[in-house]
Structure 1
Amino acid sequence: MQIKVMGTGCRKCKALLAATEEAVKMSGVQAEIEYVTDMIKIAETGLLSTPGLIINDKIVSSGRVLETQAIADLIVQNQ
């Protein structure tokens, strides 16, 4: 599983990254987490607002910081 946290490096983006890392641990899945801060790469994904969460090349969240449990649920749904 590939997970990308998209953001500019702001506090909210870093909070989403931390929650995503915890959610992966909670769910017990094997996942590669990538933190993308390059605005060109973010724009290429079609994401319109940050922070954003992409699981297996599918945008699952945009413009908000999700709770750890919500991210874990998305990980399980997108396995």
Structure 2
Amino acid sequence: MQIKVLGTGCRKCKALLAATEEAIKSTGVQAEIEYVTDMMQIAETGLLSTPGLIIDNQIVSSGKVLEPQAIVELIEKNK
């Protein structure tokens, strides 16, 4: 599973990254987490507002910081 956290490096983006890492640890899923801060790369994904979360090339969240449990549910749904 490939997970990307997209953001500019702001506090909310880093909070989403931390929540994503916590969610991965709690599920035990094998996943590669990539933190994308390059605005050109973010624009190429089609994400309209940061922070964003992409699981296996599908945007699953945009513009908000999710709690770890909500990320776990998204991971389970996208397995």
Fold shared, TM-score > 0.5 on shorter chain:
yes
Deviation at 1:72, TM superposition (A): 0.6
Alpha-carbon RMSD across the aligned residues, in angstroms, is 0.3
Question: What TM-score, normalized to structure 2?
Answer: 0.99
Structure 1 residues not aligned, in runs of 5+ = none
TM-score of the superposition, structure 1-length normalised?
0.99
Count of aligned positions: 79
- Structure 2: runs of 5+ lacking an equivalent: none
Partner SS state of residue 30, structure 2:
coil
In the TM superposition, what is the alpha-carbon distance from 1:57 to its structure 2 partner?
Answer: 0.1
2:29 equivalent to 1:29: yes
Q: Secondary structure at the match of 1:54?
A: strand
**For residues 10-60 of structure 1, what are the alpha-carbon distances to aligned partners after superposition, in whole Å with 9 as ceiling and x for unaligned?**
000000000000000111100000000000000000000000000000000
Q: Which amino acid aligns with 1:21?
A: E
1:8 is displaced (CA, Å) by: 0.1
Question: For residue 25 of structure 1, what is the amino acid of its counterpart?
Answer: K
Amino acid at match of 1:31: A
Rounded Cα–Cα distance in structure 1 between residues aligned with 2:21 and 2:77:
17
